[in-house]
Structure 1
Amino acid sequence: MHRDQIAMDAAQVAGLVSAQFPRWAGLPVRRLWSKGTVNAVFRIGDELAARFPLRPGDPQETADGFAREAEAARKLAEHTRFRVPQSLALGEPGLGYPLPWAVQTWLDGPTGSEADPSGSAGFAEDLVELVRDLRGIGTGGRAFTGSGRGGNLPDHDDWMEKCFAESGDILDVPSWRRRWEHWRELPRTAPDTMNHGDLIPGNVLVSPEGRLTGVIDVGGFGPADPALDLISAWSLLDAQTRPILREGLDCDDLTWERGRAWAFEQAMGLGWYYATTNPGMSRLGLRMLDRLAETSDL
């Protein structure tokens, strides 16, 4: 998926597990081929999963990221009924792999990419509960930092220009550029709340009845624009269930419109970037854009 992607295979992972965590030596290891874009995921036996960052980075920053994710998982487990994988161990570089890696509990069940919950009113109600649970944790006085989604919309202008330039063959770029010119100017009035930060199909688990049962990839959990987790309105819900989320979270017009803006910022980066390397993610981005177009008259 990435030009600088680090190659990994099951034999290499089995060797790392055996060398660093003898209690799990001998358990079968197999790679899971998912739509995820940040980590390669390997199943270890029936109850564990190992995650390996796909792209090179600073080892200490990688370790710090896994530590933040472990703390977020513990906190979420205390404040929501929805299942969250728990961190069990942090592995070290070795056998040609240059970064720290993590072992966590495995949660059974299909993701939203495998079992589409978009038409389930029950799932939308569960999503309301999850977002309320996250916001209820409180920021502890912290505020958004960094350059990712969740801060200041105009800070993403350069990235959006890159996306517009790369999307001419698949999108009506002028019409989307007009929308961005509107969305980027929306004022920020509400204080930060705690957000998952990436509520997309691959990061939620779904029951056979179409209900939300778990949430994964919680490393981005932190303070941000309250509109950030509204991305889920267009990534996870359809036109019939979307109003359940808006009404359940009591969103005013400005907050809802900023949710559209963050959804657009994410979707625009998926369609072209993953067109050939991760078609599932590319389709997600284009589907989000279709849903955004249904609810915008700009």
Structure 2
Amino acid sequence: MHDDQVHVTTDVVATLIEEQFPQWSGRTVQHLSSTGTVNAVFRIGDDLSARFPLRPTDAAEALAVLEREARASAELARVSRFPVPEPVALGKPGAGYPMPWSVQTWLPGTVALDADPSGSDAFAEDLAAFIAALRDAGTRGRRFSGENRGGVLAHHDDWVAKCFEESEGLLDVPRLRELWSRFRELPRTAADVMSHGDLIPGNVLVAGGRLSGVLDTGGFGPADPALDLVGAWHLLESGPRQVLRQALACDDLEWERGRAWAFEQAMGLVWYYAESNPAMSGMGRRTLDRILEPTK
């Protein structure tokens, strides 16, 4: 998916486990195909999973990121009533893999890309309950870090401009430019709340049309209250989307800012993964289609 991507195999993972965590040696190692774009994920036996960053970076910097993500995941686990992975261990470079890696508990379930819950009001209620629980956790004085999404919409102008350039021939760019020109001006009035930060279908588990778990929790932190509303467009059709809005009591401004954050994310997905990850690119297209629906 990336020009500089690091290749990880089951043999490499098995060797790393044998060398660094002999208590798990002999367990079956299974690579999990997914639309994930940051980590290669392997199942270790029945109750663990290991995540290996795909893009090379300085090992010390990578370790600091993994440690921060582990703290965030543990904090989120304490406030969520829905199952989430919990950090277990951090591995070191070795066996030809150049960076640290992480081990978490394994969660059973089907990702929302494969078990589409978009028409389920009950799922929308569950998703709203998850978001509300995170918001209620309290930031303890922390503020948005400035990284990625969750701060000032207009700070993403350069990225969105690149997306427009790369999307010529793929999308109705003039229409989308007009929409972003309005989104970027939406004012921010509410204080930061705790947020998951990436509620896309690949990070959400579904069972029986209900939310059964949430993955990729290492980004848990303070951000714009509208940030987690991206899930309304990534995951839900119009009717359930309104169920979620009513459950969270979103006013017009917060709702539109959530729509704007979903737009910013979806714009990058369509072109960047058009060839390397068609499912992720298609998800971006679907989200944009929902965003372009008449506002309800």
Cα distance in 1 for residues equivalent to 2:254 and 2:88: 37
Cα distance in 2 for residues equivalent to 1:63 and 1:218: 17
Cα distance in 2 for residues equivalent to 1:146 and 1:28: 40
Shift of 1:115: 0.4
Q: Which residue of 1 aligns with 2:35?
A: 35
Shift of 1:26: 1.0
Shift of 1:73: 2.3
Cα distance in 2 for residues equivalent to 1:49 and 1:84: 12
Mapping of 1:175-190 within 5 angstroms? 175-190=175-190
Q: TM-score, length-normalised on structure 2?
A: 0.98
- Do the aligned partners of 1:40 and 1:51 also contact (CA within 8 Å) in 2? yes
Cα distance in 2 for residues equivalent to 1:84 and 1:198: 14
- Do the aligned partners of 1:124 and 1:242 also contact (CA within 8 Å) in 2? yes
Mapping of 1:87-236 within 5 angstroms? 87-207=87-207, 209-236=208-235
- Do the aligned partners of 1:65 and 1:219 also contact (CA within 8 Å) in 2? no
Shift of 1:135: 0.4
Q: TM-score, length-normalised on structure 1?
A: 0.97
Q: Count residues with an aligned counterpart.
A: 296
Cα distance in 2 for residues equivalent to 1:60 and 1:123: 40
Q: Which residue of 2 aligns with 1:272?
A: 271
- Secondary structure at the counterpart of residue 103 of structure 1: strand
Residue segments in structure 2 that go unaligned for 5+ positions in a row: none
- Secondary structure at the counterpart of residue 247 of structure 1: helix
Shift of 1:76: 2.1
- Do the aligned partners of 2:76 and 2:220 also contact (CA within 8 Å) in 1? no
Cα distance in 1 for residues equivalent to 2:14 and 2:86: 21
Cα distance in 2 for residues equivalent to 1:29 and 1:113: 23
Shift of 1:226: 0.4
Residue segments in structure 1 that go unaligned for 5+ positions in a row: none
Q: Which residue of 2 aligns with 1:59?
A: 59
Shift of 1:296: 4.4
Q: Which residue of 2 aligns with 1:75?
A: 75
- Secondary structure at the counterpart of residue 110 of structure 2: coil
1:228 maps to amino acid: L
- Do the aligned partners of 1:31 and 1:41 also contact (CA within 8 Å) in 2? yes
- Secondary structure at the counterpart of residue 85 of structure 2: coil
| RMSD (CA atoms) | 1.1
Cα distance in 1 for residues equivalent to 2:220 and 2:78: 14
- Secondary structure at the counterpart of residue 72 of structure 1: helix
